[in-house]
A = this chain, B = another copy of it.
């Protein structure tokens, strides 16, 4: 098992100095053609690759972007990562992904770990616990140490930095409008508890749409789901004997659960009740009926986030001092779950 070859070893082997080897490999005019060729041949033979760690230490940057997301097993987040990687690789950056598992502590640990030398900047979507706890010291500390942070999706208003979001309220309004436009009046919403920022925003958008259409909003049409794992039972209770003609679910899983519940209760989707979701994931596409939904364009979010971060990493001080919030357009993806069959 041969160890990795270093400049020093090449230098020794060829009986020249380390600097000569380094320069030769960089085709420096300082070194004679003869020596250059000799060194390069040797380096190739021994498959020399410069040690990134040493370079990082010397250059005081790692050319690495740290991405921290709440869940790794989650379609939306992985699409965002896809976008980040695209841009990062183009620009010669490496991407390190860590998941916080929605734990505040793990988020802090990961961030500190990456901040102490492994990454030049961060792209981050905060954990549920962090949103609940409202403790953002780790984010502010990293920024204070000169590392730029871009927040996406689950952002924090109180933290001043670059952000990439969708207009959740507007997306929800679009969704609700769509339901209203196909003639639904009694629209229930399945949403999350309020401390999840996106859930709350989507609820607001729903309410706004109703008001714009002069449809009365009713408390009994709103379900805030606590436990996503048992959402089906909660939804089942909620929908029992309820007179509705549409359901707006703030995510895929709630939408699918709703359809199942409705089916069990003898109602057909979309004929009796229209259903619309949020987030265009695997389920939305492949479920029967396929789900009309609001696409968040995760990949675009990743692309924009990465661009913001790299701008900041490579920009001069002016760029660094200003913070931007990019709002990604959502779009309505019409599929079967809201198609009135009579049309």
Which of the segments A30-38, A46-54, A170-178 contacts the partner chain? A46-54
Residues of B contacting A49 in the complex (Cβ-Cβ under 8 angstroms): 112, 115-116
> Chain A interface residue count: which class?
35 or more
The number of times this chain is found in the oligomer is 2
B73 engages A78 (CB within 8 Å)? yes
Complex alpha-carbon distance, A131 and B79, angstroms: 25
Interface members, chain A 1-16 (any B CB < 8 Å): 1-4
Complex alpha-carbon distance, A113 and B74, angstroms: 26
Pairs A–B under 8 Å by Cβ, sample size 29: A1-B146, A2-B144, A2-B145, A3-B145, A4-B116, A49-B112, A51-B57, A51-B116, A51-B117, A52-B118, A53-B53, A53-B56, A54-B57, A72-B78, A73-B78, A75-B75, A94-B96, A94-B98, A94-B118, A95-B97, A95-B98, A96-B97, A97-B97, A253-B286, A260-B288, A281-B282, A283-B283, A287-B287, A287-B288
Q: With A2-B144, A95-B98 in contact, do A116 and B52 touch (Cβ < 8 Å)?
A: yes
User: Is the C-beta of A17 less than 8 angstroms from some C-beta in chain B?
Assistant: no
Q: How far is the CB of A305 from chain B (nearest CB, A)?
A: 15
Residues of B contacting A73 in the complex (Cβ-Cβ under 8 angstroms): 75, 78-79, 82
Complex alpha-carbon distance, A116 and B48, angstroms: 10
Residues of B contacting A47 in the complex (Cβ-Cβ under 8 angstroms): 141
Interface members, chain A 85-138 (any B CB < 8 Å): 85, 89, 94-99, 106, 112-118
* Smallest CB-CB A-B distances: 3 pairs: A53-B117, A52-B117, A97-B97
Complex alpha-carbon distance, A259 and B287, angstroms: 11
Given contacts A1-B146, A282-B282, 6 further A-B contacts (CB under 8 A): A4-B145, A56-B117, A73-B79, A73-B82, A85-B99, A95-B97
Residues of B contacting A72 in the complex (Cβ-Cβ under 8 angstroms): 78, 81-82, 85
Q: How far is the CB of A161 from chain B (nearest CB, A)?
A: 13
Residues of B contacting A286 in the complex (Cβ-Cβ under 8 angstroms): 253, 256, 283, 287
Our pick among B1, B2, B94 for the contact of A113 (Cβ within 8 Å) is B94
Residues of A that sit less than 8 Å from B by CB: 1-4, 47, 49-57, 62, 64, 72-75, 78-79, 81-82, 85, 89, 94-99, 106, 112-118, 141, 144-146, 253, 256, 259-260, 263, 281-283, 286-288
Residue of B nearest to A253 (CB): B286
Complex alpha-carbon distance, A204 and B118, angstroms: 45
Complex alpha-carbon distance, A75 and B75, angstroms: 8
Q: How far is the CB of A56 from chain B (nearest CB, A)?
A: 5
A146 engages B287 (CB within 8 Å)? no
Complex alpha-carbon distance, A81 and B97, angstroms: 10
Complex alpha-carbon distance, A50 and B281, angstroms: 41
Complex alpha-carbon distance, A335 and B331, angstroms: 34
Residue of B nearest to A299 (CB): B73
Residues of B contacting A56 in the complex (Cβ-Cβ under 8 angstroms): 53, 117
Q: How far is the CB of A112 from chain B (nearest CB, A)?
A: 6
Residue of B nearest to A321 (CB): B1
A146 engages B62 (CB within 8 Å)? no
Residues of B contacting A145 in the complex (Cβ-Cβ under 8 angstroms): 1-4
